Chain A
Amino acid sequence: MFETGIRQFRLAWGMTQGRRLNPGNVARLVDDVLATIAEFGEPGRDAGELIDGPMADPAARLEVANRSLRRTARRLAAQSPFYARRFASANVDPAKLDVAGLRAIPVTVKADLMERPGDFRCTDVPAYLATRTTGTTGRPAEVWLSRYEMELWPALGALASVLRGELGPGDVMQVNLSSRGAVAMHTSATSCRLAGAGYRPLGIVPPEAALDSLAEGGATILLTTPSYLGELVVAARQAGLGAGDFRLRRLVVGGEVLSASLVRAATATFGVPNVDDPYSMTEIVPVTGRSCSQRHQHHDLNVGLTELIDLDTGEPAAPGALGTLVITPYFPYRDCTPVFRFDTRDVARRLPDEPLRCELAGVPATSQILGKADQLLRLPSGEVVTPRQLIEAIEALPAEPWPARYRATVSDDTGRIRLTLPASAIAGYGAAEAGRHFAAAGLDVDLEIVGNDQAASLRRTRSDMHETTFGSQHALVGA
C-alpha cells in the first residue's frame, strides 16, 4: 500500500511535469491494481481519476492542453527536422503556443509522412520498431517507434483496462487482426501479459478456424475489425453456433465503421452485452477514443489533443457540422516519430453545445466516426452523405450482407447516388424493394447490381487481408 502510493505519485508527477514516464513503474501499478481487485473485488471509488485525470473542469482541461502543447512543440522544434522547419515557417514560438494559436500551424497530412518519413524522426531517441499502416486507403505509411513507447503504451493500456475491469486474470484475448499490425499485436500481447490474461494472436485466418478457436479455446475477449466480425457472425450462424457456445464477455473492434445492425447480430450471436468500438490509428498512437452507450466518440485528453476541423474552412467545426479529426499526441507519450496536428481524415460531426448525459460525460466527445473524408459523397443539393450512412443502410438489408460491399458515386447526370451492390446484398429482396429500403434510410439511390464475384472489388475491407494456413491451402500431393 505504501509503495503503491509512491508509484501513483511518481506517475502523477511525471504526467504533470511532462517527463518521460517509467514503464516499469506503470507495470508495477498494474500489479497493484490486480492485487487491489483480488482483495476488494474492485478498485476504490476514485479510480476513474487515475486513468482519465481530473478533467471534468474545462478550465483545467485547457490549462493541461496548453502546457502539453508547449512541451510537445518545444521538443519537436529541437528534435524533429520536419517540425523545426514547419514551426519556423509558420513563425510560431513553441514556448508561447496555446490551443487558440494552434491554427497558425498547418495540419500534417499523410502524404507528408509518406514522402519524408525520416524528417519526422526525433534525433534524440533510437528507433526500435517500424510499423506500417494497413494501406486500406492507399499507400501505407511507415512509423518508427522507440523501445520506450513500446513499453509505455501497453503498460498504460493495461492499467486503464484492469482499472475498468476490461481485462484481467482469467481472460483470454483472441486477436483476429492483421499479424502485420505490429503496434496492435505487440501492445495487446504485452497488455495481456501485464494483466495476467491469456493471449491468442490468430490473424485474419478463415472465419471457421477463428470460430473453432473462440468456441473451444475459451476466449473471453475478441479483438478484431468490424468487417471480420461480420464474417464471423455469418460463419457462426451457418455453423449453428450461438451464445451458449462461447465464453466471450467482450467484443472489441476498430479500424472500420461498425454498423448498428452488426452490433445487434454480434451481441446476440456471441452473447455479449455490447460491442466496444474504440478509435485509434497507427499514425496518432497512443491517442484513442472510446464509444459510449449514446454512440458518442469520447477523445482521450491525457495523451493528446483532438480537434475537429471543418472540412471546408479549416476552422473548428460548428455544432452539427462535419469535421476531420486533427490529433496531436503529447510528449512524453509519443517519442520517436511524433506528429503534430495530424489530419486523420476521419470525419465526425460536432455535437450540439449542450451538456452530455452519457456515462462518459466528463470527457469531450464528437459523433461516432462517420468515415473517411475522401469517401464522402457531396450531392448537388449540398447534402453530404457519409460512408457510415451507406454502410448502416446496406448492412441493415434483410440479406444481412456483412461486411458491406458497395461502390457509391454521385451521378454527374442525375445528381443522385449511384450505388453498386453485389447480388447477394439484396437476395430475396428485389431492386425496387431495396430502393425503398434506402429511401427510408434517407438515401435517394440508383441501384446497380453486379455479380457476387465482383463483391470484394467494390469495397476493400480489413478482413480481405487474409493470412493463409497450411490447412487453408490446397496441397499438391505426390509432386
Chain B
Amino acid sequence: MSLPIFPIPQWEQSLTLFFIIITGATLVCAGALTYFRRVRMDRPPVGTFNARDVVILLIFIGILPFVYGWLPDTVVTCLLAVTFGSALYIGYRPVLGAAGIWLAIGLLLGFNIWSSHHLLGTIPGWQVWYTEQSVTVGLSAVAVCNLYVQGGMKLRHVAWLSLGLAGYDVLFASYYPLTGRLLARYVTHPFTPVLGMRFGGVDYAVGLGDLLVYSLFFVATYKAYGAQAAKIAAAVIVVMGGFATAFLPFLFNLHNANLDTLIPAQSLFGPFAFVTYLWMKRHYGRERTMAEYLASQGDAAAASQVERAPAPEPASI
C-alpha cells in the first residue's frame, strides 16, 4: 500500500494551521470585543435581531454558494467588493468619519485588487497578498460581528446559527463539496474570503464565515453573561474551532487526492457552541439585553431606560 508523500509532515501542517486559526480568531475576537466595548454603531429606529433573522441568514448562506458558482468570476469579485466595502463602511465610519472611511476602503480594496493581479508569483508575494487579505477579512468580520450583536443578536441566536452552519458544513464540505470547489476556483482572485498565510508552498487559512461565528459567539457571550462566561466561550473556540479543526486531519489522516484538506470547522464547533449556550443559560439564567449591558457599563442614558423595566442581574455579574 503506497502512502502519499507530504512535502511537510502533516502534524506540522496541523500545527501551523492551528497557529493560523488561533491567531486569526484571537485577533478578530479581541478586535470585535474592543469595538463592542468602545464604539456604538448607528442602528435603525426600529428592529432587533430575532429568530427569523437566523433562518433568513441560513437560507441566504445556503443559496449563496450556488449563486457564486453560477456567476462569472468578475461578477463574483464585484459582489464581494460591494460586500466588503459595505461591511467596512458600516463598521468604521463611526471611527474614521465620512471622508476617512472612503479613503481607507479605497486603499484597502484597491490594494487587494492590485495585489491579486501582481503579487502572486512568489512566496513573499503570496504572503503580502495573504496579509492584506487577512486585514480586509479580519476588519470585516469585526464590523459584521458588531453589526449583529449591537443590532440585538443574542447568544441564543448565535448558538442556533452555529448549529445550522454545522449541518451546512457537513453537507457542503463533505457530501456535496461545493465549498471546496468554489474555494479552489476562486482562491487567487481578489477578496477571497479567508484569513491565512502561505508557508513553504502550502496555504493555511480560516474562512471569513468561521471567524465571524467565533467572534459572534465570543462577543454575544460577553454581552449576555459577562467576562467570566466569555472566557468559557474563548476556551470552546480554542478547543473546537482551533485545535479540533486543525488536528482532525492529522488524527484521522484526512486528505483528498490533491493533498488539499477542507475541514468543515462549523460541524465541529457548532454542536459544542450550542451545548455551551444551553449550559450557560441553565447556569447564568436569562441573557442581558443590550440596554442592560449598556447600563452595566455605566451608560446613563440606557440606565434611565432600563429603570422602567427592571430585569434580574445575570448570575455572572
Contact = CB atoms under 8 A, between A and B. Distances in A.
A151 B52 CA distance: 26
B260 interface: no
B31 interface: no
Chain B CB count within 10 A is highest, among A36, A45, A163, A169, for: A36
A5 B44 contact: yes
Nearest to B304: A41
Interface stretch (A27-35, A187-195, A346-354): A27-35
Contact of A1 (B47, B294, B305, B306): B47
A32 B42 CA distance: 17
Contact of A44 (B42, B56, B306): B42
Nearest to A42: B305
A41 B302 contact: yes
Contact of A32 (B43, B47, B302): B47
Contacts of B56: 2-3
A133 B203 CA distance: 79
Interface majority SS (helix, strand, loop, mixed), chain B: loop
Contacts of B48: 1, 4, 32, 35-36, 38-40
Chain B CB count within 10 A is highest, among A8, A37, A41, A49, for: A41
A37 B47 CA distance: 9
Contacts of A125: none
Contact of B45 (A35, A41, A47, A170): A47
A37 B290 CA distance: 10
A364 interface: no
Nearest to B292: A41
Q: How large is the interface on A (under 10, 10 to 19, 20 to 34, 35 or more residues)?
A: 20 to 34
A46 interface: yes
A5 to B, nearest CB: 6
Given A1-B151, A41-B291, A36 B305 contact: no
B26 interface: no
Interface in B4-63: 42-50, 52-53, 56
Interface in A1-20: 1-5, 8
A203 interface: no
Contacts of A42: 291, 301, 305
B309 interface: yes
Contacts of B53: 1-3
Chain A CB count within 10 A is highest, among B45, B48, B291, for: B45
Contacts of A4: 44, 46-48
A50 B46 contact: yes
A159 B158 CA distance: 29
A46 B291 contact: no
Given A39-B291, A41-B291, A47 B46 contact: yes
Contacts of A36: 45-48, 152
B47 A5 contact: yes
Interface residues of B, number: 25
Contacts of B291: 39-42
Interface string A184-223: 0000000000000000000000000000000000000000
Contacts of B49: 1
Given A1-B53, A1-B152, A2-B53, A39 B46 contact: no
B50 A44 contact: no
B131 interface: no
A371 interface: no
Contacts of B46: 4, 8, 29, 32-33, 36, 43-44, 47, 50, 163
A132 B43 CA distance: 44
Nearest to A33: B46
A3 B45 contact: no
B204 to A, nearest CB: 35
Chain A CB count within 10 A is highest, among B42, B47, B302, for: B47
B289 interface: yes
Given A1-B152, A39-B48, A39-B152, A170 B42 contact: no
Contacts of A41: 289-291, 294-295, 302, 305-306, 308-309
8 contacts: A1-B50, A4-B47, A4-B48, A5-B44, A41-B290, A44-B42, A45-B45, A46-B45
Interface of B: 42-50, 52-53, 56, 151-152, 289-291, 294-295, 301-302, 305-306, 308-309
